[in-house]
Amino acid sequence: MYVVKNLSNWPADSLNPQGRASIARGGGLTITQRRSLGTRWESKAVVYAVADRGTPQHEAVHAYCAHAFGSTGPTWYSEGMAEIGQYWKDSDDKSVQCSPEVLRYLKSSKPKPLKDVVDRDQFTGDSWQNYAWRWSLCHLLGFNENYTQRFKPLGIALMTEQRNISFWTVYGTMSQEIEFEYLLFLRNMEIGYRVDLCSWDWKTKFKRINGRRTAVSKIKANRGWQASRLEVEAGEQYHFETVGNWSVEDKGEELTADGGADSRGKLMGVLFHDYSLSEPFELGASGTFTPAGEGKLYVRCQDDWSGIADNRGAITLKIKRLP
Ligand SMILES: [Zn+2]
């Protein structure tokens, strides 16, 4: 790796001209050569990068992938993973650590459809904005509990250039779910956001209830939206109660589901219907509510999206339909 702080210290013939040009533009470049040795192959990767924090890390991912797997995969994967490397801090840190500019850009832009992010006719070095989309999708697929298990085998298949494997062959049957969670991620993303803790619960069964039936669920303070098991009907009235306490900081004040100051710790609800969400609404520790529309009720402990990982405790939520 040539990591260059001051180009004028480097004589003209000391750097590859393309590498020098990339550094002069404030970026980096990885040049990988491969040769086949029959059943094996041999590779060499040379990195040129400016001496900032992220660029050598970004390029090191390209170099590693090319060495270990033979290629870095299609552009969306190659650059998305290199950007994850750029922001990498600690091996067990799953939180969002992108640059503030990338965060602002993603949150203020019209979301890019999945099919455009993973489109195969893309080229490397196009724009930092496209790199931001690729990073955000790789971050979601890599850390969200619904998609993480398939992500590593997909990556290896792409980098080893296995035929007939693509984003669509691996995730195609889940693409509606991924698109929904991708939009949710882009909307709520903050520095410190945890896609693993906000993984959507697609598995829990929901039911419409009446009479003496009760929907019971246990809701953790340190997760995003969670299944209440209740499917509401528009215009019906529901009564709910909660038991238990939680806190919105590690060793913080114990709160009921009414929450504390500025509504942190309050039980909130949202309706999921046809892959879209209603506006969130306040519930609290007990009371009644009349939903404006139909849908599956998801609930959570109100807190900044960047700060749910240190929350503690859980409450039990019971809901009945009023006659
Ligand atoms: Zn790159």
Q: What is the pLDDT of residue 125?
A: 82
**Distance between Cα 238 and ligand 1 center (Å):** 53
**Distance between Cα 70 and ligand 1 center (Å):** 16
Evaluated on CA atoms 218, 222, 227, 232, the torsion sign reads positive
The pLDDT tens digits of the residues spanning 99-113 come to 999 999 999 999 999
**Distance between Cα 137 and ligand 1 center (Å):** 15
**Distance between Cα 176 and ligand 1 center (Å):** 28
Nearest to 29 by CA among 44, 13, 10, 16: 16
**Distance between Cα 82 and ligand 1 center (Å):** 6
Residue range 20-29: mean pLDDT, rounded: 95
**Distance between Cα 1 and ligand 1 center (Å):** 14
Residue range 163-178: mean pLDDT, rounded: 96
Nearest to 300 by CA among 196, 225, 217, 199: 225
Q: Which residue intervals of the chain are DSSP H helices? A: 17-24, 54-69, 75-87, 100-108, 114-117, 128-143, 148-159, 167-171, 175-188
**Distance between Cα 169 and ligand 1 center (Å):** 25
**Distance between Cα 232 and ligand 1 center (Å):** 47
The pLDDT tens digits of the residues spanning 185-234 come to 999 999 999 999 999 999 999 999 987 899 999 999 999 999 999 999 99
Q: What is the pLDDT of residue 213?
A: 92
- The predicted model scores a pTM of 0.94
The answer on pLDDT for 168 being more than 90 is: yes
Q: What is the pLDDT of residue 160?
A: 93
**Distance between Cα 53 and ligand 1 center (Å):** 14
**Distance between Cα 189 and ligand 1 center (Å):** 23
Over the range 61-78, which residues count as b (16 or more CB within 10 Å of their CB) and which as e? bbbbbbeebebbbbbbbb
CA 2 centroid distance within chain = 32
**Distance between Cα 118 and ligand 1 center (Å):** 15
In angstroms, the CA 310 to CA 63 distance is 36
**Distance between Cα 149 and ligand 1 center (Å):** 24
Q: What is the pLDDT of residue 34?
A: 87
Residue range 266-271: mean pLDDT, rounded: 98
Q: What is the pLDDT of residue 27?
A: 93
- The residue among 42 and 159 whose pLDDT is bigger is 159
**Distance between Cα 48 and ligand 1 center (Å):** 11
| Per-residue pLDDT band at 323 (split at 50, 70, 90) | confident
Task: Provide the percentage of residues in the chain whose pLDDT is more than 90.
Answer: 88
Domains of the chain as residue ranges with CATH: 2-188 (no CATH), 215-321 (2.60.120.430)
**Distance between Cα 65 and ligand 1 center (Å):** 11
The pLDDT tens digits of the residues spanning 282-319 come to 999 999 999 989 999 999 999 999 999 999 999 999 99
Q: Nearest 10 degrees: CA dihedral of 48, 49, 55, 57? A: 50
